[in-house]
A and B are shown apart, each in its own frame.
Chain A
Amino acid sequence: MSSLALVGYFEPWWIQVIKGIVIFAVGLQLVPVVLIAERKLLGRFQGRYGPNRVGPYGALQPLADILKLLTKEQSRPSTSIGLLFAIAPLISILTAVAAFAIIPFGDTQDIFGTKVGLYGVDVSIGPLYLFAFGAVAFYGIMLGGWSSGSKYSFLGAMRGAAQLISYEVSQGLALVGVIITAQTLSLTGIVTAQKGMWYFIPQFFGFLVFLVAGFAETNRAPFDLTEADAELVGGYNTEFGGGRFASYYFAEYLNVLVVAGIVTTVFLGGWLLPFGIHPPGFLDPIVVLFKMSLITFLFIWIRATLPRLRYDQLMSFGWKVLLPLATLNTLVTAIVVVATH
């Protein structure tokens, strides 16, 4: 066909197209669910009802939110830089959806005689794919803040940049322990390696470090200094309105789901159930979604519980507590694996 290497996978192209559409649709449906769950739960945590006007039990609230945002005027400040201002939310949403593609929702299934893996791609580089898109996601926040031509946005973007660099290191090191134990980089391989015991028991410190770094990576409370509304109005997305703001919002919640999915896959055994229960294969995605919803609940719980950190606390916590802990975890894991192998 050409003089270059051909891209070859064992799945036919039409399955890949269908999988792409399904994954995007699932992500698109999950975000409003997380939205309403967060608003309802925050209400309960704070002793109020939460949204209860739109639809039964307030369940149609996210629909109303999205309609409101999409029909709003897309204003932009006169100091902003047009092209970058338009591209930045796109980068955010693109990287979030791309990262969502590697979460395995189940083992390979026989569907109409064709073997289909219930995941977007099972890349041989596994978590590195995630970090690559995380690295590009930085430009979504940074360009959004910079091109707004506003001090608040710029400060928010700068904080986001520093925070991302600081916590990405610990997040990566926390996963190295798991990779050493599982001896594979493939995420489905990591899940099947957890048949004996889920990794959050032997890799408990890695689990903690990854979770905390995940809070910081997704700019969620108590690490939401990027958009600290008391100091920065809204941080990097201050000047965005309408559909562009909706894109940022969507990307943020999708990133929460991605972190929940990765934690589920890497530490909570993915689609495996404890006590040797083997459900039929079509139940695998439901198991994964249930575990993901537990982690998402933890995200919301922590947001309702903990106050926002101060900026220097955030930095010194990342570099002086999290990073040494992650490094120590990696070292000890490596020694234990070599000693018992």
Chain B
Amino acid sequence: MSAVLFFIAAIGVISGAVGVVVLRNPFYSVLALVAHLLSLAVLFLLLRAEFVAAVQVVVYAGAVMVLYVFVVAYVGGESDSLGERLRGAGHGPGASRLRLGGAILAGALLVELLIALLGTGLEAIGGYGAGYAPGPEAYGTPAYIGKLLLTRFLLAFEIASFLLLIAAVGGVVLARRRGGLEDEDGREALTPLDLLRPRGTGTMAEGVGRRPS
């Protein structure tokens, strides 16, 4: 049963990953990535990492990819595909330097992955997953992961949190500098104070962007 599931999920993972690269339409590429991530979640489930599987779906398929789909559906639909545009860029100025940089980065990634793969001696492929142990703090449960995050990996956890916080604040600052977060036509947004507004006021005026003071 688990072998069948493994092969179905593995085929999904690989075909999804290939699809991201091969498909011409960016929208289908994103959908292939979603399929890839969902199949990966199934693989995590087979390894009894229920929490990781759920987080994989919630965070990647549910939040990150939603934004991808959102943007591609809005901006996409251009006649020339992504591949053609990239090929067009291959003739522009500085193209040879770009190609060289791409090759170096790809080589570095390959070396890194090979070190990671060969460093484990490929033991994980031949081994079993974690044993099934019911209980609140068994391997892979949220309690177990939470305890590890707050004791052994506290520093890494905090650094990652700060990195994300900086990225979020930076995103807001950049968007504001480009004028993306201005209030349109001076319309006031709903604030918690508006909850204290007397009943029956401001309904019609709100519709035209004004509010009785």
Contacts and interface: CB of A to CB of B under 8 A. Distances in A.
B interface: dominant SS:
helix
A interface: dominant SS:
helix
B190 A4 contact: no
B190 A132 contact: no
Contact of B73 (A6, A10, A154, A185): A154
Contacts of B142: 124-125, 128, 185
A156 B41 CA distance: 29
A146 B2 contact: no
Nearest to A154: B73
A185 B55 CA distance: 14
Contacts of B50: 123-125
Nearest to A128: B54
Contacts of B8: none
A317 B190 contact: yes
Interface residues of B, number: 47
A184 B136 contact: yes
B186 interface: no
Contacts of A7: 1-2, 46
A136 B192 contact: no
Given A1-B3, A128-B55, 20 more contacts: A1-B1, A3-B127, A4-B3, A4-B6, A4-B129, A5-B132, A6-B132, A7-B1, A7-B46, A131-B54, A132-B57, A135-B61, A136-B38, A136-B62, A139-B34, A142-B69, A143-B31, A157-B73, A184-B136, A321-B190
30 contacts: A2-B3, A2-B6, A5-B46, A5-B130, A7-B2, A124-B142, A125-B50, A125-B51, A125-B142, A128-B51, A128-B54, A128-B58, A131-B54, A136-B38, A139-B34, A139-B69, A142-B66, A142-B73, A146-B27, A158-B70, A161-B69, A161-B70, A165-B66, A185-B142, A312-B187, A313-B190, A320-B189, A320-B190, A320-B191, A320-B192
